């Protein structure tokens, strides 16, 4: 393997970027096995945790662009993992619901993603993983706060 300049390997931003490349590849490969995509997981997870929601709310909550939410919800509905019903309080808006098949798919995707975490972070102990998640969460929250 080529040597990497120390200036790079000492920068968390560079390390995070490199790790992101590996994480995206692994997630994409695993989710492809289940005929799914990352957007699917985000939306199914939000519906499972927070209940039915409008597409706009899903986009904000999952940090997915509105047009991508529409496409992902269309795919999830075609697969039987989600369904849309008219919002009784807003004539032009639909509410997206998780189906039983969607809950099963989410559990399958959880298992696949757990495998990715193990592959990506296999050299870290459970305690080190928890610390990493906590620290990354703090940094992200700080940047999202403004």
Q: Per-block average pLDDT, block size 10, for the chain (146 residues)?
A: 87 95 95 90 98 95 93 96 91 92 96 95 96 96 87
Strand ranges for the chain from DSSP E: 53-54, 82-87, 90-98
Neighbours of 29 (CB within 10 A): 12
Entry pTM: 0.88
CB-based contact 75:63 (threshold 8 Å) = no
CB-based contact 113:30 (threshold 8 Å) = yes
The predicted pLDDT at position 1 comes to: 52
Domains annotated for the chain, with CATH where assigned, are 37-118 (1.10.10.10)
């Amino acid at each position: 393997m080529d040597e990497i300049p120390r200036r790079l390997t000492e920068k968390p931003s560079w390390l995070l970027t490199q790790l992101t490349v590996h994480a995206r590849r692994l997630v994409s490969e695993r989710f492809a096995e289940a005929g799914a995509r990352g957007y699917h997981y985000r939306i199914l997870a939000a519906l499972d945790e927070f209940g039915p929601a409008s597409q706009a709310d899903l986009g904000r909550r999952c940090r997915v662009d509105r047009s991508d939410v529409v496409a992902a919800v269309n795919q999830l509905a075609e697969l039987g993992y989600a369904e849309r019903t008219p919002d009784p309080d807003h004539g032009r808006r639909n509410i997206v619901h998780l189906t039983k098949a969607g809950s099963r798919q989410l559990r399958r995707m959880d298992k696949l993603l757990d495998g990715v975490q193990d592959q990506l972070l296999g050299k870290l102990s459970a305690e080190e993983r928890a610390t990493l998640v906590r620290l990354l969460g703090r940094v992200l929250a700080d940047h999202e706060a403004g």
